[in-house]
Amino acid sequence: MVGPKRHFLPLILISLAAFIFYSFHHSSLPSSILESNPTSTFPNPIRTQSSPNFTFVIKVLAFNRLAALSRCLRSLAAAHYLADRVHLHLHIDHFAPDNASHVDPKLREAHQILEFVDGFDWKFGEKVVHYRTGNVGLQAQWLEAWWPSSDHEFAFVVEDDLEVSPLYYEFVKALIMNFYYNASNYSPSIFGVSLQRARFVPGKHGNKLQLDDQTRLFLYQLVGTWGQILFPKPWKEFRLWYDENKAKGNKPFLEGMVTTGWYKKMGERIWTPWFIKFIQSRGYFNIYTNLLHERALSVSHRDAGVNYGKTAGPDSKLLEEKSLDFNLLEVQPLRSLRWYDFCFREVHPGKVATNLEELGSLLHSLQKQDSVFLVNLFGVSDAISRNLLCHFERLDIRNYILMGPPSDSLFDLARRGHPVINVDKFISSVGLSKFTSQGLSFETIKGILAKTYAIKKCIENRYNTWVMDGSMLLTSDLFLSESEDSNGDFFVANNLELFYAKSSSSSQKIWVDGFVSKVVAMAESLAGKDSATHGSLSFVYVVIKLLEQNGARIRRVDENSFATKIGSGSETSLRDKKLVYWSSEMELNSIQKWLDEFNLWSIDSDLSCTAVVCHKS
């Protein structure tokens, strides 16, 4: 695959090749992963067939390297296909226009390639040759290689300088059966399987790519271009997404990613920045192997051509049958696999707590910090919650739990790796579904009770707890440490639904079952009154009143000292403010306008963060 002007790619890829694979021992998190209701988190749109008949199509992308192509096809033909029908589609790019004196050798080269593929015997299925009339380059070669003809067709995209292991197909088939056709291991987040050895972390300042020796399979957001199996639904989605963004003149910029730099230099000659941006916006993942000893099921010979100025040689060792020292076809269940983002930071998708016990194990799976944020998303739009999460990422706030009534968007946040509490189920699990109140006050009460129970669990688990609303945005984390250092077990602002409970022996003595019952009783009685008093039906109001009765040490702070209310006409410089908030009645458009003005609107039209921000973990 050689295009006309591809001077930058070789340097970049050669420097990638310099990445060393570290395989350290990795401390493991408690395995109490919450699988409370996986079906509500991971709806399963794929019809499970007892013996699915999927179609497997190999898409070879070739150009002018006959020797490489011949090695590639020989390795594909030497693989074990288990009597399955497997099709071979060859996409041969045309040479770029040149001055007439140079055309003849290029024509000869092209004819040799065509003659070779015509004569190549493929006995496993149909062989189709697609010879271009003009040079389209790598991006179009990849993107146009495939439009899935059904949800049961899988494509394996192979650039011509790859060589595959004879074992690759059996392995891929085992993965397809396990992760696509077995409902208990299915996740709509998985877009494919990469057979190359993972070595590259695209997020700037990301973690080193390290896995323990026990890990055979893991999930990672990055697409691999050296042997990538694509699943039909996500690929079709990507093609449509690309179409729309390309047509509207959008660019696949994603701050904080090395690949965005590639795009800025090479533009439309490469395709991965588009796919990476799409993956970021959907929160999808790729399956990778960790076969140890630098082994992989596909290796790139990195021959001189489009990607390399001169031949760089294989980056990994091909897995050979005779050196197989483990059972390649033994596939672990999905819930035992680890998931990593573009920073190679572990994420925990699908965590939905529906009762106190699950909240307990969710807390155990959080990173080791001493504070947790409970964020109330009731009545908060998707855009606002997604923007808030981008700021958490920027500020490296990882201990948060989102609370909201069950909804598609709440479960989607969980699918993307944000822990959530399904407030309705949570409330029923503690026996509080008996309320007869209706409408808004009922939702408010549920929120109050869920927070009260959740704080109790947090205090017991030695977590200091922040309770905040989705209609607030932290702009700095300084404010947190200041407050945590102060005296007082509880912290409250005068007119904000912001609350802090320190985990101390004195707070643990106050926040007991009896206290929780009092909160329930008070919320119930306030809700029973006429709507005029519903203004006082807030978590902070109820809890502070009862804490005062218990003689708790409460620190009160004037919110104007650290927070700015937007849309109030009194916005000043944000420089010394640590939080912005707004009225829950404010329209999304106005909120966005204000936040934009303060440079705090950090999502794009797909509601995904405009930047990836890595912090070492």
Ligand X SMILES: *[C@@H]1O[C@H](CO)[C@@H](O)[C@H](O)[C@H]1NC(C)=O
Q: Which residues bind ligand X (CB under 6 A)?
A: 49, 51, 53, 99, 101-102, 182, 184-185, 333
The Cβ of residue 244 has, within 10 Å, a number of other Cβ atoms equal to 11
Helix/strand/coil for 467: strand
Minimum distance, C-beta of residue 360 to ligand X, in the bound complex (Å): 25
Tokens at residue 37, please?
């209701």
Cα separation of 581 and 559, whole Å?
10
* CA neighbor of 318 nearest in space, from 216, 157, 196: 196
Q: Which two tokens stand for residue 563?
A: 């927070």
- Give the nearer residue to ligand X in terms of CB position, either 53 or 327: 53
Read off the amino acid at residue 249.
G
Smallest distance, Å, CB 448 to ligand X? Answer: 39
Nearer to ligand X (CB atom), residue 324 or residue 329: 329
Is 329 or 478 the residue whose CB approaches ligand X more closely? 329
CB of 184 to ligand X, least distance (A): 4
Name the DSSP class of 408.
H
By C-alpha distance, which of 133, 55, 137, 66 is closest to 89?
Answer: 55
Place of tokens 């990672």: 220
Q: How far is the CB of 109 from ligand X (least distance, A)?
A: 16
Whole-number Cα distances in Å, 439 to 390, 422, 445, 523, 529: 31, 18, 10, 15, 14
Q: Which is nearer to ligand X, 185 or 260 (CB)?
A: 185
Q: Shortest distance, CB of residue 52 to ligand X, whole angstroms?
A: 7
Nearby residues of 482 by Cβ (< 8 Å), 6 or more positions away: none
The structure tokens listed for 468 are 């905040």
d(C-alpha 103, C-alpha 95), whole Å: 9
Rounded Cα gap, residues 224 and 480, in angstroms: 40
Closer to ligand X at the Cβ: 99 or 572? Answer: 99
Query: Shortest distance, CB of residue 99 to ligand X, whole angstroms?
Result: 4
Question: Closer to ligand X at the Cβ: 102 or 556?
Answer: 102
Q: Nearer Cβ to ligand X, position 106 or 233?
A: 106
Asked whether the beta carbons of 202 and 16 are under 8 A apart, the reply is no
User: CA 462, CA 363: separation in Å to the nearest integer?
Assistant: 10
For the bound state, the minimum distance from the C-beta of residue 217 to ligand X, rounded and expressed in Å, comes to: 12
Residue placing its CB nearer to ligand X in the complex, 54 or 120 = 54
Closer to ligand X by CB, 55 or 592: give it: 55
Closest approach of ligand X to the CB of residue 103, in Å: 10
CA distance 207 to 203: 8
CB 574 → ligand X: shortest distance, Å? 50
Q: Give 106-143 as a 3 state SS string.
A: HHHHHHHHHHHHHHCCCCCCCEEEEECCCCCHHHHHHH
